[in-house]
Amino acid sequence: MGWLANRLSSHEDILVLPGAYDALSARMITLACAEAVYCGGFAATASSTALPDLGLLGLTELASHYKTLSVASKGAPLIVDADTGHGGLLNVQRTVETLANAGVSAFHIEDQVSPKRCGHLDGKDVVSWDEARARVSVAVQTAEKFGMDVIARTDAIAVHGFENAIERGNMFFDCGAAAVFIDAPTTPAQIQAIPNRLNGPAVFNAAPTGVSENPRTTELERLGFRIVLHPIEGLMTAAAAAASCYTTLLRRDDPLEQPHLKFNELNQLLETSDFLSREREYSSVDTN
């Protein structure tokens, strides 16, 4: 049992997971006193390559990105997106081992076919029941060796309907998943039913894409959800602010009239004074 499973068993309140997209955003999430840092595949892909979430990043690229976030998070648990496990069952095993070495505390793995795509885009497909069960089982068995937890995700609503998604979710609990993530419910009735129909902790993806209605966190908690993900809100906010700044610069206007961090505030985030202090300390060491 890892950090996430312990959190779910010891607390009844909903776990809010803000989504980081790079190291600095991960640091800011920890400074905002979040219990953990989350990073999804959409944010990781967009911020590191400016590419869409269509399964274009490989395991090595994602693990490197997550490692950077893990270091920046200063010991806060990091929960990430393992996509489909990046291949067959042996690849799933290697994916989990690689994420463990990157400092990840928990991850979600899904039943989409490979190459996958963002769960809120059209054209998704999922693997068979048996393949999905094997994928999650291998992920759980490998994760247990490292004290990690698995969130099992299904995208089956768009392919086989809501009932199949619920059945897959409960099968994932039988495989040992700590929580289940049924992505992209399409109606308020589906959202309300998910926590009641699942045999364990339910995850809600609050990505503001327009695919799912996004109830307030207090309402999700009342419905029985145990985890809410906010995967791209930080990325979207930062992208809008940066676009406005650059457009203003190119109009020869002063972008500093817009809301922004002061230079000393940014250096506080980066812990610049601590680094300079250490540099002075090391420089005074007698090497003779």
180-193: per-residue pLDDT in tens?
999 989 899 999 99
pLDDT at 253: 66
Residue 288 and residue 278: Cα distance in Å, rounded?
A: 20
| Pairing of β 202-205 and β 227-230 | parallel
pLDDT at 258: 66
In the chain (288 residues long), the average pLDDT of successive 10-residue segments reads 95 97 97 96 95 90 97 96 94 98 97 76 84 98 98 93 97 98 92 97 90 88 97 95 88 71 90 92 75
CATH architecture, range 3-238: Alpha-Beta Barrel (3.20)
Q: Which structure tokens are listed for 51?
A: 């590419």
Residue 257 has, within 13 A of its CA and on its CB side, a CA count of 5
Residue 35 and residue 179: Cα distance in Å, rounded?
A: 17
SS3 track for 226-262:
CEEEECCHHHHHHHHHHHHHHHHHHCCCCHHHCCCCC
CA-nearest of 22, 1, 18, 143 to 71 is: 22
Is the model's pTM score more than 0.95? no
Render pLDDT for 61-96 as a digit per residue (tens, 0 to 9).
999 999 999 999 999 999 999 999 999 999 999 999
pLDDT at 125: 84
Instruction: Please check whether residue 185 is in contact with residue 142, taking contact to mean a CB–CB distance below 8 angstroms.
Output: no
pLDDT at 124: 81
pLDDT at 285: 72
